[in-house]
Structures are given as C-alpha cells and as structure tokens.
Structure 1
Amino acid sequence: MASAVHTMLREVMDIRQASDYLGISGDTLYRYASEGLIPAFKLGNRWRFKRSLLDAWMVEKSGVREPGPVSVMPKEKKPVGRAR
C-alpha cells in the first residue's frame, strides 16, 4: 500500500510504477511505449512516464470531456403591471 501511495505522489515514474498506476502489465506498457502509443520518454536506456501526461492521455482516450465553465443567464425581470 505504501508503494501505491508513493506512486501517486511521483510525477516521473518508471515502467513498474507507471504500470501499477495504469493497472496494466509492465510488458504491455513497454510495448505501448516502444510503439509510441502512450506518452513516454527514455532517460538513458530506461522508459519514464510523466503522471500528468498519462492522466491527459487517459482523458483523451476515454472520450470523456472534462466539464467546462457553466454560464448562467440572469432571469429577465417581468414588466410591472399598472396598479388599478
């Protein structure tokens, strides 16, 4: 459990940490990175993954739009009737 919490706090993760974060196997993640299917970069000869880029990639791939600002139109005032 401490490992999972530690992974959540790291911005740059290795294959093991990123695969735990994404819930996929290390082999699958390595293949995705090698084929350019997921945002990753090499540091020396090791793949590294930025958490913020993985989060953005997941949002993009899920097809879910993030909620934007909501504009609320003020109610129009009704005209005041004449007193009888």
Structure 2
Amino acid sequence: PDEQCVLILKQIIPAMGPESQILIDEMVIPSTGVPWQAAFTDLLMMNSLGGVERTRAEWDDLMEQAGLEIIQSKVYDSKEQAILVAVAKRT
C-alpha cells in the first residue's frame, strides 16, 4: 500500500503551485499509549482492507518518499483523527 500511496501523491505535485498545500484528514496514531478506538480501527483496516493507520513518523517517511513534507498537523479528536498539511519539498 505505501508504494501506491507514494505513486498517487507524486502525481499531485506537478499540479501544485508555489503556495499549494495538500490537506489530509487521517488518523495519526501515537507511538505509545494508543487509544483503544485507534487500535481497533488499525486492526479493522489491516484485516479488511490490507491497510494500516500510521504514526507521525510513518507519515513523515511516506511524504518524504513522495517529495512532500508535512508542515503542520492538528489532532482534533480523542480517536487521534488529524489534519496533516503537506507541501512540495523545495529543491
């Protein structure tokens, strides 16, 4: 799944302008002390879709592979849902 995510994200970059931002509304699970709701969702995704929820470090790595960087993140509920703001890396 990560390879497909990277491929999709890379396809967005050519359409981005200098001020463009990508907003991603996703669960960002903590490295430790994961709330049960987040752990349950992670297991459900893995079992039914072959996907996973990611930690912030995993999101950073995924964005790096795609040529993007996260400039801001905000967790907005108790289930670790967050908005990630990403921009194209400056070369």
The TM-score with structure 2 as length reference comes to 0.27
Greater length-normalized contact order (CA 8 Å, ≥ 6 residues apart): 2
Q: Whose strand proportion is higher, 1 or 2?
A: 2
Decide which structure has the larger Cα Rg and report it: 1
